Amino acid sequence: MISKKDSKLIQQLQQKKFRVKENSFIAETPKVVEEFLRAGFILKSWYATTDYQPPSGTKVRPEEVSSKDLKSISRLESPNGTLAVFEIPKPFQTDTQNLIIALDGVRDPGNMGTIIRMADWFNVDKVLLSEDCVDIWNPKVVQSTMGSLARVIPEITDLPVALSELKNEGFEVRIADMDGTPSSEMDWNNPTVIVMGNEANGPRENVCKVADGKVTIPKLREGGAESLNVAMATGILLAQAKL
């Protein structure tokens, strides 16, 4: 049985201020929880129903709870066996690769999670976030990464400053835009930062001022869709750059 104290804490961790205060985040479903366990994240508490089987070799065992109790602390419509609370890790440095993603004001948790998952798929370790992006430890973001957040942890930064520093290191900064150099004509062998903007307003002026230019995904149907979802566009550009 889950104590009232633990139940209250888990409910509070749905909110960013409590995640910051407790330095903790929630992960749900076997796939996501096990990805964080494999990556060596510090486990603070772990709950599972009797039909859940922890992966072999796991030294710590979850506390058994009823399906009803698990549902009472879960944000999912249909909880899937297990929920864990992990410590938020300290930021760590990644080796600078030739391709970096920078997100300016991306607010939707689903978009953020999908972009992190795309970065993981295409082996892009460095993702930069402006300070007003959605919190990456938001449960909806964590869930939509499907465990990729265990390997790709974005860095929150003063984006214009970070982009300027990367330019000084030899990176070309390109804003994803409807009007720019076609992605097929880019030389992706050059060190490049792809900047993806806010879902509604695109990148801010102070970010655009730092950029060397724009890159676009050519539209092939006249009169068709007006734009692409930011996560979808990121995936297409990563495929173009990496394949």
Q: Write the pLDDT tens digit of every residue in 49-60.
A: 999 988 887 888
Pair (45, 115) in one structural domain: no
**What is the count of structural domains for the chain?**
2
Question: Which domain CATH number covers 134?
Answer: 3.40.1280.10
How much of the chain, in percent, has pLDDT values that exceed 90? 84
Q: Is the pLDDT of residue 164 over 80?
A: yes
- By CB atoms closer than 10 A (0-12, 13-18, 19+), residue 122 is middle
Neighbours of 214 (CB within 10 A): 16
This prediction's pTM: 0.93
Pair (69, 134) in one structural domain: no
Q: Write the pLDDT tens digit of every residue in 174-227.
A: 999 988 999 999 999 999 999 999 999 999 999 999 999 999 999 888 877 778
Q: Which domain holds residue 199?
A: 99-242
Q: Label the pairing between strands 82-87 and 43-48.
A: antiparallel
Domain boundary among 51, 67, 87: 87
Q: What does the pLDDT average to over 69-91? A: 92
Residue 94 included in any domain = no
Pair (65, 110) in one structural domain: no
Beta-ladder partners of 87: 24
Residue 201 included in any domain = yes
CB-CB contact of 180 with 215 (8 Å): yes
Q: Write the pLDDT tens digit of every residue in 4-51.
A: 999 999 999 999 999 999 999 999 999 999 999 999 999 999 999 999
CB-CB contact of 155 with 130 (8 Å): no
Pair (29, 79) in one structural domain: yes
Residue 124 φ/ψ, nearest 5 degrees = -110, 110
Residue 46 included in any domain = yes
Pair (112, 193) in one structural domain: yes
Q: Write the pLDDT tens digit of every residue in 103-149.
A: 999 999 999 999 999 999 999 999 999 999 999 999 999 999 999 99
Pair (80, 110) in one structural domain: no
- Six-digit token pair at 40? 């060596």
